[in-house]
């Protein structure tokens, strides 16, 4: 990749291991959990749960999972460790105090689901996900269907007014009005996040809005996975690197608390 001047952009560095006053916003798939062939193949894992719990305690509750999955799926996969969470790309959200909010689903989500199901029925390996507020079309098991899936989803977006959200081997048509950036901004206006430095950690295109929101609010983004053009300022290689980094952040935050005591 090159800049406008024709010079290659330097590789993104690893994020710092000490972040005083940080607020962490963490994507789930590809960040806290490895990508899997199907959404249901991802389940709870002790290290992940322990890391989220420790980090939440160390940062005074300033940790939220911000995912394309539903809140119910987030809770299942992190085993209830995330008090604050946002699901379906900001369309549903649970504050740190447990208060829930969600947009009403656009009626045309049902139209998208029906079209996606017709598409998948003729293409073994393509999966359809009904999130209520959105419809997802997964083609990770049959990447050869990517172009056909994009053609369908783009046409449906134009017909229905739904927002098209590309992801990692998935296309989603969702109720418009929210994204991961709006979720980060909403959390940052509330206790215990207000006044902290936001850090968004994500792996795919759905996280770019979160990266931009964090940057605009005085923080930064961390890209997970291969380097690419991104609004993130730092990068980590994979899920294991993320968990190692989060563990180091938690330890550093505890050391700071003990030093002030």
What positions carry a catalytic annotation?
27
d(CA 147, CA 183): 30
d(CA 78, CA 115): 32
Element (DSSP H or E) covering residue 255: helix 239-260
Give, in order, the Cα–Cα distances in Å from 203 to each of 153, 189, 242: 22, 24, 11
Residue whose tokens read 């290659």:
8
d(CA 80, CA 74): 8
d(CA 86, CA 207): 13
- Sheet of strand 127-130, all strands in order from the earlier edge strand to the far edge: 127-130, 134-138, 170-174, 163-166
């Amino acid at each position: 990749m090159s800049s406008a001047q024709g010079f290659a952009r330097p590789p993104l560095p690893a994020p710092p291991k000490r972040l005083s006053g940080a607020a962490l916003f963490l994507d789930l798939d590809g960040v806290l959990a490895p990508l899997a062939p199907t959404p249901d193949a991802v389940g709870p894992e002790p290290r992940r749960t322990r890391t989220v719990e420790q980090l939440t305690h160390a940062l005074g509750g300033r940790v939220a999972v911000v995912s394309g999955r539903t809140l119910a799926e987030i809770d299942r996969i992190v085993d209830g460790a995330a008090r604050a969470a946002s699901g379906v790309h900001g369309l549903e959200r649970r504050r740190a105090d447990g208060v829930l909010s969600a947009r009403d689903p656009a009626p045309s989500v049902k139209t998208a689901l029906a079209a996606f199901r017709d598409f998948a029925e003729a293409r073994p390996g393509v999966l359809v996900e009904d999130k209520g507020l959105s419809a997802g079309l997964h083609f990770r098991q049959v990447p050869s269907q990517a172009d056909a899936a994009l053609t369908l989803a783009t046409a449906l977006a134009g017909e229905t007014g739904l927002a098209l959200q590309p992801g990692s081997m998935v296309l989603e048509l969702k109720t418009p009005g929210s994204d991961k950036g709006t979720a980060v901004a909403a959390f940052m206006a509330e206790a215990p996040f207000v006044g902290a430095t936001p850090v968004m950690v994500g792996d795919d295109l759905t996280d770019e809005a979160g990266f931009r929101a964090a940057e605009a609010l005085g923080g930064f983004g961390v890209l997970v996975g291969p380097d690419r053009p991104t609004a993130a300022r730092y990068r980590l290689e994979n899920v294991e690197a993320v968990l190692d980094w989060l563990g180091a952040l938690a330890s550093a935050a505890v050391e700071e608390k003990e030093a002030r005591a």
